[in-house]
Structure 1
């Protein structure tokens, strides 16, 4: 593929990843808000419930708290990686590649970690449709983010004429 075609592929993947990371952040924000509103009340005269966890989510299962927390971190870093990626797409030089590639690699690694918790949550079952949506998006994002990294590196290795 020519460098121009790789730039188009990278741009499309960047736009797709941005939309999906924003959706993950929206669903994750809903989950955290719900956990805060319906969590344990701790104060004078209240005892901690048995098996208390500071990452308690009233919906989902035992993996939900970890899943949502890491999904939110991956979403924020993913959006930041998209900002760096837009700068690289705009300039498309070897000087802008390292920052875009490193930000994308960090976002991918955090997304893969959140995907691992998503797989554990799927294994444990008992979750609602919003969490299922976020799981699916993170599994898809782990692939599309890796494809984006390959696209920007593939363009760097194509010979110029």
Structure 2
């Protein structure tokens, strides 16, 4: 959990606009294409979807997953993976303990808050199509590259 919390502290933007959303979404889509990963990528600012790409091999189910994960980010202002990990650390499941509709919220890895320094969370970036750990790792790697920061992983 400490690593997930560290990612959130490290990956903070100085600003975020429509052009940034396009660049971040395109970067993530490019990483996925290079790896042959069938994923859906979405970038949101507030409730507005600024970027969305569904690569071959995905389905409308992936669209629903990114929506559900982004709702967790919007509600908790933390990554969907970290929120799920916090519930598991308490010996509970998000689905049972959060009392939120599982058709609308999913605390599975792959959605990450877009936090602007001095402002707070302004949106979310999400990936769906891999395992939850791999979805999360792809988003983190994309944000690291976007921000030009070295990875915090050993």
Question: Scaled by the length of structure 1, what TM-score is found?
Answer: 0.28
Query: Hey, which of these two has a bigger chunk of helix by percent?
Result: 1
TM-score (normalised: structure 2) = 0.28
Q: Which has the higher contact order (CA 8 A, sep 6+)?
A: 1
The structure where strand makes up a greater share of residues is 2
